[in-house]
Structure 1
């Protein structure tokens, strides 16, 4: 395999129906105010993790939370996963700030997110 290392799961995105109500729930849960607070995304940084709220599942159409594995080389990790039979759910894309994201579906239908900073 080209690159077997990850930096672990540090980001979890949650689709939400009502962003304001969800923001209140996660603020109470995490005990911190959002680090990012916009109409299309609210993000919290707590205990070394990033928790994101995505209204309506966002453009990627999330229907359940997605954990994102932080990797040093997203293209190599994507190739490793595809070689095992995983399929691309979201191709690699730049979401700004030199951050690349992608997602695959494993053989059991689970969505695995990837992030490269």
Structure 2
């Protein structure tokens, strides 16, 4: 039934600021912006080995009010060095949600709350590397 990750959606009250922050983090600009002129209500990045989509949506369009604290599901993005990625995220202004933890041989996770209130996970995952042939 579930065949693969298509889009991860984050919300931000200031989409332009979030797009700028994620552009700095990812080293690339959004490939899609709506509307094309004026302040964006939605931007989308394609990132990683499989070009997964990360969308940032204006908080006005959230299906329900956002909770005061970050929580819920954590989507983990594979990184080659969790400690370095975690440190970089903190250096860019994210706050620690869970410091790096080894979950077992070949599996390390960490997570942060970005400056816009979204939960962002990073993970070293040996299965990801095998599937990506890297």
- Please report the TM-score for the alignment, with normalisation by the length of structure 2: 0.41
Name whichever structure is richer in helix by fraction.
2
Pick 1 or 2: higher relative contact order, CA cutoff 8 A, min separation 6.
1
- Please report the TM-score for the alignment, with normalisation by the length of structure 1: 0.46
